[in-house]
Structure 1
């Protein structure tokens, strides 16, 4: 059966086309799993060099960009979406975390799947206990579950959070709203370490826009007036995080709890969306109103 890729393929669909192209040789037999299945199911910011497929036998040989697994797969663990057979969210995320290159990569994929509301971390824990005892890579999966969160909006936030953990900042929340003592919303930062009143933000290129930059500066001022310390991460820090860690350490030395004028207690009218359960409980209208901008 002949097949071709259009010459004018939209660049935005390049990763999806690569997934389809990898699945084509085993069409009708192989099932896409891991990061590629999660992306096909709606998780954002997932893109790796190799697409993984589950096949019922080992006669397929790995080739550049494609890897085959002969792990047993129940019919109930497969879904067909837009004509492509993929493993369901739980099977996909546990596979991806078990075979991730390292612990940080495993945490990232768990974060991405939860942020898309494909799985909750409790669902992954229960599935791991029930079906994966002794499976290859399950130790890494369990360790990653202890570090993952359900409200990380980007891989960069995961990277920052793990860097802070290396400094001893164990309780770090992602995208949690902070209020002043009168109940006014100060902002929802990328990272917040409540035990020390420390905020972390990643400033990508989109933050350089004039209006966005002005908004960021006003928000930083509001945080600082509430007694919070504030540390930014930029693209260069991802390549070499030493200066970011040094700036964080400097900020920790300036923590002054006597100046704190903030709370995490939301006013009665605030609708929380920080967990998978909270987001799944939203109506379609509220989901679009509260989360549409980030989806």
Structure 2
């Protein structure tokens, strides 16, 4: 299909031209200076093979009316966690929606979605047709390899405020007899709007499989004078048990020191802390640590030194609608931690 991409650094593949004017000649196309990206489609070999370029290549090779969908559409819209990489760090195939017609132009690196497109499902962004966020997220959840993966897709799109739970549920109700709809609905029932990373979702699922507790995601904790103390990844408010995921980014000196200070602060407040790390065989060890934390929390006596009641000066950003309502200045102040790792007035 014909594309007019207006993002810098990206090149729209061209068809061969016998004269070599509008595209490479057949002879030139066979040389090392051109890369074949589809039947009769080529781009200069020196163009960087970025995720965005792979998406452009994939859509260009599809019939008119097609659109990037799933993680590819979300990546094009700026979704932080839709990086196009699989768990083993290999590139994920680019999903392209072609509607309810059979696509003949299949090629490696592309997954063709032949589910029908509802009216209004496709929009043009910087010259590339992409499916709207609710369609992209529900597709990604339906084709996920399990409920946890579906839940990650949903919650990470909500992290970027591209969709809300209400919007996803309304769109899902319009899907009739779609493969994976039950998985999508189950994930929506478990989804939270205030999750900040995929591993927080994984940790919450593992925790609740072991102990079916109500866990709050990124719940700010205050002292009794209304000062913000800490915001753990997960918090069982009733039991006074918190969960924190420590990935490789937490290994550096200053970050690790700050994490240890957070853990020490929570323990001084009487909140037991459970740490999850990456690696094989972590889940049974996590379950063991969770059990120990609840046992210790059960022996805690005395009045609580902390509360989740928000003081007047605090701005609640726990839902998509609240985050969308922030003006640019408030958004930078209250959500800038998504870039820096520091939260507002956190003292830990």
Is the shorter-chain TM-score for this pair beyond 0.5, marking a shared fold?
yes
- Give the superposition deviation at 1:8: 6.8
Residue number among 35, 43, 65 corresponding to 2:109 in the alignment: 65
Show the counterpart of 1:3: 42
Q: 3-state SS of the aligned residue for 1:270?
A: coil
Do residues 247 (structure 1) and 289 (structure 2) align? yes
- Give the superposition deviation at 1:34: 1.2
Q: 3-state SS of the aligned residue for 1:4?
A: strand
- In the alignment, the residues of structure 1 paired with residue 256 and residue 282 of structure 2 have an alpha-carbon distance, to the nearest angstrom, of 24
Do residues 91 (structure 1) and 130 (structure 2) align? no
Residue number among 247, 264, 282 corresponding to 1:221 in the alignment: 264
Contact 1:79 1:87 in 2 (8 A): yes
Residue number among 42, 45, 48 corresponding to 2:78 in the alignment: 42
- Give the superposition deviation at 1:113: 0.9
- Give the superposition deviation at 1:38: 1.5
Q: 3-state SS of the aligned residue for 2:244?
A: strand
**Residues 127 and 75 of structure 1, relative CA distance in 2, 3 Å threshold:** closer
Show the counterpart of 1:143: 186
Q: 3-state SS of the aligned residue for 1:149?
A: coil
Residue number among 22, 33, 49 corresponding to 2:69 in the alignment: 33
- In the alignment, the residues of structure 2 paired with residue 246 and residue 185 of structure 1 have an alpha-carbon distance, to the nearest angstrom, of 30
Contact 2:269 2:306 in 1 (8 A): yes
- Give the superposition deviation at 1:75: 4.6
- The superposition leaves residues 208-265 of structure 1 with CA deviations (integer Å, 9 ceiling, x where unpaired) of 222222222222121111110001112226x532212211111111113534322110
Runs of 5+ in structure 1 lacking a partner?
none
**Residues 193 and 132 of structure 1, relative CA distance in 2, 3 Å threshold:** same
Show the counterpart of 1:18: 54
TM-score under structure 1 length normalisation: 0.91
**Residues 5 and 224 of structure 1, relative CA distance in 2, 3 Å threshold:** farther
Instruction: Note the 1:111-190 alignment, pairs <5 A.
Output: 111-129=155-173, 131-190=174-233
Instruction: Note the 1:250-269 alignment, pairs <5 A.
Output: 250-256=292-298, 257-259=300-302, 260-269=304-313
**Residues 25 and 187 of structure 1, relative CA distance in 2, 3 Å threshold:** same
Runs of 5+ in structure 2 lacking a partner?
1-14, 16-40, 87-91, 340-348
Q: 3-state SS of the aligned residue for 1:111?
A: helix
**Residues 96 and 118 of structure 1, relative CA distance in 2, 3 Å threshold:** same
Contact 1:169 1:193 in 2 (8 A): no
Greater Rg by CA:
2
RMSD of aligned C-alpha atoms?
A: 2.0
- In the alignment, the residues of structure 2 paired with residue 39 and residue 252 of structure 1 have an alpha-carbon distance, to the nearest angstrom, of 39
- Give the superposition deviation at 1:164: 0.5
Higher mean C-alpha deviation, range 50-59 or range 82-91: 50-59
Show the counterpart of 2:147: 103
How many correspondences in the alignment? 290
- The superposition leaves residues 61-89 of structure 1 with CA deviations (integer Å, 9 ceiling, x where unpaired) of 54432111222224511111122111001
TM-score under structure 2 length normalisation: 0.78
Q: Which structure is higher in RCO with an 8 Å CA cutoff and minimum separation 6?
A: 1
- In the alignment, the residues of structure 1 paired with residue 172 and residue 97 of structure 2 have an alpha-carbon distance, to the nearest angstrom, of 18
Q: 3-state SS of the aligned residue for 1:179?
A: strand
Show the counterpart of 1:289: 333
**Higher percent of residues as helix:** 1
- Give the superposition deviation at 1:287: 0.8
Contact 1:53 1:66 in 2 (8 A): yes
